[in-house]
Amino acid sequence: MPATVQSIERAAAILRLLGGGSRHLPLGEIAHSLDLAKGTTHGILRTLQHVGFVEQDRVSGHYQLGAGLVRPGAGYLDPNELRSHAINWADPLAARTGEAVRVGTVLDGRVLVVHHVFRPDDTFQTLDVGTLLPIHATALGKVLLAYRSAGVAPPADLDRFTRRTVRTPHGLAAEVVRVRDAGWGYEVEEMTPGNASVAAPIRGPGGLVVGAVGTSGLVERICDRRYHPHPHLVALVRETARAISRELGDGRH
């Protein structure tokens, strides 16, 4: 069994320690029990806290197991937090692209819209925050499906909305690998005739995909003549996704 990641072993040991007894220990005690330096222990605990595995008592400062260990269905990022972080970046994206922007996450096999910025013109539009979108016919959904963020209900019923809606599970699987290879996804008239959309994944701590952000609008404005999204539009969407990811704690970008 050559080479294990000792940082993770230590984290696991801390979790075990917290789970196996007092479930309410001061940092010094943990460090001493595991024969680690206080600073080291603090770093590990900070990380565990960040991902929701441990919580810290505000008054005593002691550490205890967090709610995130057993999974109550949802990912460790609740929709509210996703929304509050995405909100600062969605507006600029809408302004620069001139299109509507939506932020979504997976809920029960569908796409829950957690934020929506109107297209910056005067036309009448309906706010669809809270709406559940199909996962196989939207750019947001394809992206979320590709990275298996959370709920991952394998789509059983592929409702057909337009002539272009992906019908077969096989075709959907092909789409998924496309998204994965490219790092972003799109859709043209698969949900609504005359409409197209582009989306990119939002990553949380550790690189886990926790949501997606994208624009949607009239086909002739989103795509070029060959029905491919404009490259600069794709770039803008991806940059926005990376910015939000950075804010959510994804280190790499």
Partner DNA sequence: ATCAATGTTCGGTAATGCCGAACGGCCGTC
Partner DNA sequence: GACGGCCGTTCGGCATTACCGAACATTGAT
The residue from 26, 27, 47, 164 that contacts its own copies (CB under 8 A) is: 47
CA torsion angle 50 51 54 57 (round to 10): 30
- Contact at 8 Å (CB) between 202 and 212? yes
By the rule CB under 7 A, 168 interacts with DNA: no
Task: Pick the binder of its own copies from 67, 143, 206, 219 (CB under 8 A).
Answer: 206
Q: Which of residues 34-53 bind DNA (CB under 7 A)?
A: 36-40, 42-46
Q: Which of 98, 142, 107, 42 is nearest to 233 (CA)?
A: 98
Residue 117: CB minimum distance to DNA, A: 33
75 in Cβ contact with 150 (< 8 Å): yes
Task: Give the nearest distance from C-beta 50 to its own copies in angstroms.
Answer: 5
DSSP labels, 33-45? HHT--HHHHHHHH
Decide if residue 107 touches its own copies (CB under 8 A).
Answer: no
Q: From DNA, its own copies, none, which one binds at residue 39 (CB under 5 to 8 Å depending on kind)?
A: DNA
List, in order, residues 6 or more apart from 48 with CB less than 8 Å away. Answer: 11, 14, 15, 54, 66
Among 67, 153, 174, 235, binds its own copies (CB under 8 A): 153
Binding site for DNA (CB under 7 A): 2, 5-8, 10, 26-29, 36-40, 42-46, 56, 61-63, 251
